[in-house]
Amino acid sequence: MPRLAGLATAVPDHVITQAEAREGARRVFAARPALFERMAPIYETAGIDTRRSAVPLDWYFAPHDWHDRSTVFLDTALDLLEDAARRCLDEAGIGAGEVDAIVTICSTGIATPSLEARAMDRLGLRSDAVRIPVFGLGCAGGATGLAVAARLATAEPGATVLFVCVELCSLAFRTEAPSKADIVATALFGDGAAACVLRAGEGGFAHIVGHGEHTWPDTLDIMGWRIDPTGLGVIFAQAIPAFARKNLRPAMDTILAAQDLAVDDVDAAREDLIARGVDVSEVFHFAAGPFINAVENPRVSGRDPEGRSYFSFASFEDPDGNGWLLQEITTRLPGREWEPKQARTAGAATLADLLRETSEHHDRYEKTHAEHHWWDWYASYLNSRQNGGSPEEAAAAADRYMEEVLHIPPR
């Protein structure tokens, strides 16, 4: 399981307050005062006090072409990448020469050779270190890039993977014919970099138990860049909030389902697993609510004091070393009720045997097929078993899913 051994950030020197950003944008939008005043409340509702910028505020009051923006991007992005990477490696106590692979995420500028290639000598990375530069992931770049780095660390036990994300969003702001999207951008975005070091095995201060992706069809025009002689210009469709409200939750439920097992009684499930030889954590709840880690000491020992559905947990690892959460759900929220084809069986009594059975069947598949995500096969197998399929039928269903939907070839 990949573990985080170091984590650091880096920001440029220029600080712009929200009030300064608002007044600067008002100056740029002087020719369209009605539009600006209609959009101005976003500076208050965005919840942002300050941001860091690659350039001082007055830089935006003059015209700049692609060459100007690219020059600033290359100089600043490279400095931020180096700073974040050094801080991260120092925190982890790892030398740059120990890095076996580096994953670099950036969608706000173009560099060829790529940023990490330009930083190789500056950081002291080995000449045989694997380089994976990724462009175009946008706002999801940090999470998706971390998943890529985690997969690399998992695939090469003992390898050290450095992950760096650098974004200079402010350089895309347009002063000529600015749009509503530009106003939104000035209220939200800043510049900076973040880095982490991952290794599979022991150590580290946190581990990555899962990750997933979801791509919606016919959504290429919702967010992105428009490209012209000035540079990259932001695209924000008005439909983004409605789209997120409608589509994000189902996708996240599917991704999280591979890591979260619902049980009616978390204490009984825990005792049953322990009796079968599984090492299970103490029952706990989240201080600020389920899966909210943005507070100090987010996990609190013991059941949820109010006994609420969805709020009590326990964790364990399956025979493959994958992390799982038991979540006690006694009453489901509206719209999330189970509608099984047959009556549900008691999950606590059969959970360990079912996971062991799934692991054994997956082991056979893993030995005969190309690299894949274990949770894809697990999900199909468990879905078939939940709906009454035999182990043989479930394994066949999972094999078909991997072949026909995910196109995983045999070895």
Question: Which residues are the active-site residues?
Answer: 139
Alpha carbons within 13 A on the beta-carbon side of 191: 27
The structure tokens listed for 282 are: 């103490």
- Quote the radius of gyration of the chain (alpha carbons, Å): 24
The structure tokens listed for 243 are: 């789209």
Which residues, other chains included, contact 200 with Cβ-Cβ below 8 Å and sequence gap of 6+?
1, 2, 3, 153, 154, 156, 157, 158, 159
Question: For the chain, percent helix, then strand, then coil, each to nearest 5?
Answer: 40, 20, 35
Nearest to 161 by CA among 83, 78, 105, 79: 105
* Count of beta carbons in the 10 Å neighbourhood of residue 371: 9
Helices (H), 258-310: 266-275
Crossing angle (nearest 10°) for helices 115-123 and 66-92 = 50
Quick check: 201 and 157 in contact, CB under 8 A? yes
* Count of beta carbons in the 10 Å neighbourhood of residue 392: 9
Quick check: 151 and 212 in contact, CB under 8 A? no
Angle at 201 between CA 198 and CA 206, to 5 degrees: 55
Strand 130-134 versus strand 191-200 pairing type:
unpaired
Distance CA 318, CA 333 (A): 28
